[in-house]
Amino acid sequence: MDIEQPRQGLGCMRLRDGAEPGLDRDPSAVIGSALDHGVTFLDTADMYGNEALVGRAIRGRRDEVLLCSKFGVIWGEGGSWSVRADAAYVREACEASLRRLGVDVIDLYYLHHRSDETPIEETVTAMAALVDDGKVRALGLSNVTEEDLRRAHDVHPISAVQEEWSLVQRGFEAMVPAVAELGVIAVAHSPTGHGLLHSPQVDEATDPTDARLRTALADIAARHDVTPGQVALAWVHHRSQTWGLPVVPLPGTTSVRHLRANIAAADLTLSTADLALLDALGPGTVGGPAYPRAGG
């Protein structure tokens, strides 16, 4: 099965229990408000440690949700991590996620990160068996190479590739033509550079390329009467027309107020001049290294 293309998702990575119920930071209210506004593409992962929270928040509304989770990245000591993607682990991880989420099926199940040890054919064959068993509806990959994608797609159709894509992290663009050719949805995670583009302040310490980007965002935002972060998110939405493929931005937030601002950004139309200005600016350094990435 394939998934219907959503307009924008909600990244649930930062949602944690502990906020006061009913207030702006209540994770159930964030997820409930997303669903109320038609943002039904919810993204979590076993490594985020919050599948049970997400499962509780969607209880009673499961049919509205396109529920996405990921497996394969395992925390070690002191913040280190490793990847497991062998066939036995794929099934074990999926069953554990289903239990924590409290659902019968995950709509989109991703390999969270490529493995240097397990051939991707083994991983995807095991993932395809989960589709056959009705535990998963569609398959996705994250933090992979173009070659990984092509080899995986030969085993079973891949519905979505999730990679970091924003004005400060554009490395994914090298494999976008292959993603388009294979008819795969590009899910753009961390579309505001992990939040950096929501507060584009410039001071004398700012790298000159970053300063130009931040100034441009602030100027465009003022013209449209929106925030710089909304412009940065709208730029990711416009990647769809620029590259000719389905792009689903995946902003993350722990605030109902921020969620609403991010939803509004999906309707922001940037002019050709706005886009030309932003496209011409290099990614600069504010994005830092992508996370998590092969090799570190």
Ligand X SMILES: NC(=O)c1ccc[n+]([C@@H]2O[C@H](COP(=O)([O-])OP(=O)(O)OC[C@H]3O[C@@H](n4cnc5c(N)ncnc54)[C@H](OP(=O)(O)O)[C@@H]3O)[C@@H](O)[C@H]2O)c1
**Residues designated as active site:** 48
Binds ligand X by CB under 6 A, chosen from 34, 54, 231, 250? 250
Is residue 156 part of the contact set for ligand X (CB under 6 A)? no
Instruction: Check if the beta carbon of residue 254 is closer than 8 Å to that of residue 27.
Output: yes
Q: Of the ranges 52-60, 114-122, 248-256, 276-284, which one interacts with ligand X (CB under 6 A)?
A: 248-256
Q: Of the ranges 8-16, 57-65, 94-102, 214-222, which one interacts with ligand X (CB under 6 A)?
A: 8-16
Binds ligand X by CB under 6 A, chosen from 135, 153, 239, 258? 258
In the numeric block, which tokens belong to residue 213? 């980007």
Give long-range contacts, CB 8 A cutoff, 24+ apart: 80-84: 81/47, 81/292, 83/112, 83/113, 83/114, 83/115, 83/116, 83/117, 84/115, 84/118
Is residue 159 part of the contact set for ligand X (CB under 6 A)? no
Binds ligand X by CB under 6 A, chosen from 8, 97, 118, 262? 262
What number of other Cβ atoms are within 10 A of residue 295's Cβ? 5
- The residue type of 13 is M
Is residue 11 part of the contact set for ligand X (CB under 6 A)? yes
Residue nearest to ligand X (CB): 11
Task: Show contacts with ligand X in window 162-201 (CB under 6 A).
Answer: 162, 189-195, 198
Binds ligand X by CB under 6 A, chosen from 3, 29, 34, 43? 43
Rounded to whole angstroms, the Cα distance separating 226 from 220 reads: 9
Kindly report the CA angle at 194 between 68 and 281, in degrees rounded to 5?
A: 120
Binds ligand X by CB under 6 A, chosen from 3, 6, 8, 13? 13
Q: Of the ranges 6-14, 86-94, 173-181, 202-210, which one interacts with ligand X (CB under 6 A)?
A: 6-14
3-class DSSP state of 177: helix
Q: Which of 192, 174, 183 is nearest to 11 (CA)?
A: 192
The DSSP element (H or E) to which 82 belongs, if any, is strand 81-83
- Nearest distance in Å: CB 289, ligand X: 12
Q: Which residues contact 139 (CB under 8 A, 6 or more apart)?
A: 108, 109, 110, 124, 127, 128, 131, 152, 156, 157, 158, 159
- Nearest distance in Å: CB 129, ligand X: 23
Helices 120-132, 87-101: crossing angle, 10 deg rounding? 40
Which strands sit side by side in the sheet containing 136-142, from one edge to the other?
9-11, 41-43, 66-71, 106-111, 136-142, 160-164, 185-189, 247-250
Of 127 and 244, CB closest to ligand X: 127
- Nearest distance in Å: CB 60, ligand X: 23
- Nearest distance in Å: CB 164, ligand X: 6
Task: Show contacts with ligand X in window 92-151 (CB under 6 A).
Answer: 142-143
Q: How many C-alpha atoms does 273 have within 13 Å on its Cβ side?
A: 5
- Nearest distance in Å: CB 132, ligand X: 25
Q: Of the ranges 80-88, 200-208, 235-243, 247-255, which one interacts with ligand X (CB under 6 A)?
A: 247-255
Residues within the interface to ligand X (CB under 6 A): 11-14, 43, 142-143, 162, 189-195, 198, 229, 250-255, 258, 261-262, 291-292
